[in-house]
Structure 1
Amino acid sequence: MRRTLTALLCLILCPPLLAGAASTPDGLRAMAGKVTLPGGVATLDLPPQLRYLDPADARKVLVDSWGNPPGPPTLGMIVPAGVDLLGAAGWGVIIGYEQDGHVRDDDAGADYAGLLAQMKETVADRNTARREQGYAAMTLIGWAEPPRYDRARHQLSWAKELHTEGSNENGLSYNVRLLGREGALVLNGVAGMNQFEQVKRGIHQVAAAAAFTAGRRYADFDARTDRLAAYDLATLAAGGGAIKPGLLGKLAVALPGFSQLLLIAMAVCGVWLYKVLGRRPARPEAAQAQRRRAG
């Protein structure tokens, strides 16, 4: 999982964005209808309300408009048609592919209540490091929507509610995994809890539009030749299946390993905190300087 460089990150976003961010770039080539993703791993049969941006245009939005530092390469981005990407109704879906092997689904009835307790401990254990890096502590409140596996679509979905120290509104991390022959498409939506219905609706519209190409579908798995993933459905819900850090601000960060939770550290402490609290988090060096002055 650690060596996988691309993952499908999905963010259902609701900018107002950081002060000083650029406007929506001119000349974006938004494509409608059926799109084949780079590499041919999957297609998107988009409904009229959605548009596809290729990787170059996606970077313009992510870096130039939304103020994220350059991150790992993507397979493009989905945006709503006719919506100002810098307005309150704007959101985007970052697309990539996590090729870690075939994920078995025979544990679809896992003990997710017990898993939640383990994940809460993981979040709490990382708060010391978060504070040292200049970020607020986080608490996993619980499932905003417990894990649910659609065996017919080979689709796992769940949502977590998180609280960031100092915020007046809890955060939402809504996740969908679409399983294929050799890996998974990953959708991860980040917003405030008050936008739960918007996030849920948007993520599932994107999931419904996606389909693996022939030979890459879940049913195409060949146990004689194909590699199995080192994790299962329960591990996915716990945050396994690494999403490489790099797209900060509006992007969720998934940490590798079975016991790691999607902490969305930079996302929640970046644009989301700015939106809720009206301020940016201190950078690590700035936070250290403040502590030295206070001491």
Structure 2
Amino acid sequence: MHIAKRWATFAVAFMFALAAGGAFAQNAHTDAAAAKAFEDAKAAAKTGPQDIELIDQAVLKLPAGHVFVPQPQATALLNAMGNPGKDDRLQGLVFPQGDGEGWFMTVRYEKSGYIKDDDAKDWNADDLLKSYREGTEASNEERVKMGGPAIEIVGWAEKPAYDAGTHRLVWAMSSQAKGAPANEPQGVNYNTYALGREGYFSLNLVTDLKDLPAHKDSARTMLAALNYKDGKRYADFNASTDNVAAYGLAALVVGVGAKKLGMFALIAAFFAKFAKVFILAGLAFGGAIMKFLRRKKSA
């Protein structure tokens, strides 16, 4: 099929999803803006293997079979998928190229200062879960004001684990719309962090809970592909000159993580709800996005 026709087919399916999406549609851009967001992302996409510079802090060695969408196209794409607003921490988005891959990752940098990791040896997963639930419930009012659903925490999809040797943190939380039936698809917030001298990168996988076992290795691959530059590594910390963050690792789970949950739950719910629409249009769910992202207009 000619690329213009294929793009039109995908756009029609995407717009149909927006039109059918209730709260999601109300917070998305217009149809024309959404179509432009995908077209712009396609034109700006960088295909692996290649090195992606992440500001002055790190390099992401993007593997073959992956695509990186930089800023500002990344923000426009998130807006088109139902996540309003702008996040200055966002560096870009990573998508797989393969057909039928229902995931993507956000790449963010938080200039928090050096985060001490000594609390990792003492934390209790049950206590963290309780705090996370309380924080999520407290933020539901603001989440609803922004047009998203109220969220409730189902539980750990993967308990927090910190590798002191590599200064990497991984954890996953499953969630759903508050009051949703037990058989409703659950979203998952699969978080990976790489600590550095001046802050941390978060690479967060967005997918459906049932697909997490198939995709979490991809998240860990991307985490391992991120390397801090000389002088920016965690081990380069200078206690006499460097800023130390006011919080430790636990706060990345129960504090910072809870604030981000609404965005991931919103997008994951959008994907879960409308996956069949894309399939009916004759295009693979995640792969449909990538088929167009990896083609330049010159094709």
Fold-level match, TM-score > 0.5?
yes
Indicate the residue corresponding to 2:58 in structure 1: 42
> Could you tell me how far 1:196 is from its partner in structure 2?
1.1
TM-score (norm 1): 0.70
> Could you tell me how far 1:39 is from its partner in structure 2?
2.5
Cα distance in structure 1, aligned partners of 2:191 and 2:104: 14
Kept in 1: contact 2:144–2:150 (CA 8 A):
yes
Q: How many residues align?
A: 239
> Could you tell me how far 1:132 is from its partner in structure 2?
6.4
Kept in 1: contact 2:47–2:65 (CA 8 A):
no
Correspondence for 2:269 among 250, 267, 273 = 273
Does 1:206 pair with 2:222? Answer: yes
Indicate the residue corresponding to 1:116 in structure 2: 129
Cα distance in structure 2, aligned partners of 1:119 and 1:164: 16
Comparing 31-40 with 190-199, greater Cα deviation is found at 31-40
Q: Return closer, same or farther for 1:277/1:108 CA change in 2, 3 Å cut-off.
A: same
Deviations 1:80-105 (CA, angstroms, capped at 9, x unpaired): 23x46xxx525433323111100111
**RMSD (Å), alpha carbons:** 2.9
SS in 1 for 2:172: strand
Deviations 1:27-59 (CA, angstroms, capped at 9, x unpaired): 334243342424221011222122333324434
TM-score (norm 2): 0.69
> Could you tell me how far 1:133 is from its partner in structure 2?
6.2
SS in 1 for 2:251: helix
Q: Return closer, same or farther for 1:190/1:59 CA change in 2, 3 Å cut-off.
A: closer
SS in 2 for 1:273: helix
Indicate the residue corresponding to 1:264 in structure 2: 261
Does 1:154 pair with 2:167? Answer: yes
Cα distance in structure 1, aligned partners of 2:176 and 2:85: 27
The residue type equivalent to 2:104 in the other structure is G
Q: Return closer, same or farther for 1:272/1:33 CA change in 2, 3 Å cut-off.
A: closer
Indicate the residue corresponding to 1:102 in structure 2: 114
Q: Return closer, same or farther for 1:104/1:22 CA change in 2, 3 Å cut-off.
A: same
> Could you tell me how far 1:275 is from its partner in structure 2?
3.9
> Could you tell me how far 1:217 is from its partner in structure 2?
0.4
SS in 2 for 1:182: coil
Correspondence for 2:151 among 134, 138, 150 = 138
Kept in 1: contact 2:103–2:205 (CA 8 A):
no
Indicate the residue corresponding to 1:243 in structure 2: none
> Could you tell me how far 1:220 is from its partner in structure 2?
0.3
> Could you tell me how far 1:129 is from its partner in structure 2?
5.3
Indicate the residue corresponding to 1:72 in structure 2: 87
Q: Return closer, same or farther for 1:33/1:231 CA change in 2, 3 Å cut-off.
A: same
Indicate the residue corresponding to 1:244 in structure 2: none
SS in 2 for 1:201: helix
Does 1:195 pair with 2:176? Answer: no
Cα distance in structure 2, aligned partners of 1:43 and 1:222: 22
SS in 2 for 1:177: strand
Cα distance in structure 1, aligned partners of 2:94 and 2:271: 22
Q: Return closer, same or farther for 1:192/1:233 CA change in 2, 3 Å cut-off.
A: same
The residue type equivalent to 1:40 in the other structure is D
Comparing 38-47 with 26-35, greater Cα deviation is found at 26-35
SS in 2 for 1:107: helix
> Could you tell me how far 1:60 is from its partner in structure 2?
5.5
> Could you tell me how far 1:111 is from its partner in structure 2?
1.9
The residue type equivalent to 1:149 in the other structure is Y
The residue type equivalent to 1:104 in the other structure is K
Share of identical aligned residues, percent?
30
Mark the runs of 5 or more structure 2 residues left unpaired by the alignment.
1-12, 19-30, 275-299
SS in 2 for 1:97: strand
The residue type equivalent to 1:221 in the other structure is F
SS in 2 for 1:222: coil
Kept in 2: contact 1:22–1:67 (CA 8 A):
no
SS in 2 for 1:122: helix
> Could you tell me how far 1:143 is from its partner in structure 2?
1.0
> Could you tell me how far 1:156 is from its partner in structure 2?
0.7
> Could you tell me how far 1:135 is from its partner in structure 2?
4.6
